[in-house]
Amino acid sequence: MDLRKLPLFDMMTRRLSWLGARQQVLAQNIANSDTPGYKPRDLKPLDFRAMAAGELAKLGPAVTSPMHMAGFTPGDAPARAEKDRHPLETTLSGNAVALEEQLMKANQTATDYELTTNLYHKHLQMIRDALGRGGG
Amino acid sequence: MDITKAMEISASGMYAQGQRVKVIAENIANADSTADKPGGDPYRRQVITFKSLIDRAAGIEKVGVKRVSRDSVTPFGKKYEPGSPAADGEGYVKTANVNAVIEMMDMREAQRSYEANLNLIAMSKSMIQRAIDLLR
């Protein structure tokens, strides 16, 4: 069974990869917190509602034979990091990274990651329960 | 994987801050270094600057040392010490332009940034652990 064919699992996988990408961007901001002229970046927020709506509206060609090519599915493009247009503070050197803000975002990302992996685990557990353990 | 890249970026940040502490240590150690001949210049304090290094292969932006230069703006101090080999005709000796308070403040800032990077590595590590735990 391909778990990614279930919309919920697909959405959670995408959320996890988005959170991973965001962690990378935040690490970049914190590493460059003393680089002159560096402006912090962040990813565009992932809208779960829009994602769910898009999931229903997603239309792809049906694959009825293994010889068919899988259709293009939109929404798999990697998230792009954008410069923060309204930084909290800018130092004399032109650096606009506020360490506290970045650490808070990183913390939130880690918590969201935990939440999503827990949800994933629970749903997997539910499927396993439905499959049964073969005890009779 | 994005999260391992995040750890790599944070590690580059820690390395850069380590270099900064090294430069500060050199400044403090040489705070009393004077010239060995009359009228000569004493130790000139060093200043470190950072820049962001773009790693195109991995698609990440790390941080690195741009250059370590000499501070030629801060003037040297002056001290009356006719017995010193560096004393000029009037008995004055030029002292290094190192200010212990400024160096200490810089050291604190380096420490703060170092800790922020370290925290982010710990956070990224726990996120990876979460992903691995899905296997259980």
ipTM for this model? 0.82
Q: Buried b vs exposed e over B90-105: b needs ≥16 C-beta within 10 Å? A: eebbbbbbbeeeebee
pTM: 0.81
**Beta bridge mates, B93:** B79
Element (H, E) at A115: helix A99-131
Reduced to 3 states (helix: H, G, I; strand: E, B; else coil), residue A61 is coil
- Residue from B105, B126, B124 nearest B14 by CA: B124
Shortest distance between the Cα of A3 and any Cα of chain B, in A, equals 13
A8 pLDDT more than 50: yes
A-chain residue closest to B6, CA distance: A24
Contact call for B134 and A117, based on CB within 8 A: yes
Give the tens place of pLDDT for each residue, A46-59. Answer: 877 777 676 655 56
B112 pLDDT more than 90: yes
Contact call for A102 and B12, based on CB within 8 A: no
Contact call for A33 and B9, based on CB within 8 A: no
Give the tens place of pLDDT for each residue, B74-85. Answer: 999 999 988 888
- Residue from A136, A21, A125 nearest A76 by CA: A21
Q: How many CA atoms lie within 13 A of A61 on its CB side?
A: 8
Shortest distance between the Cα of B20 and any Cα of chain A, in A, equals 11
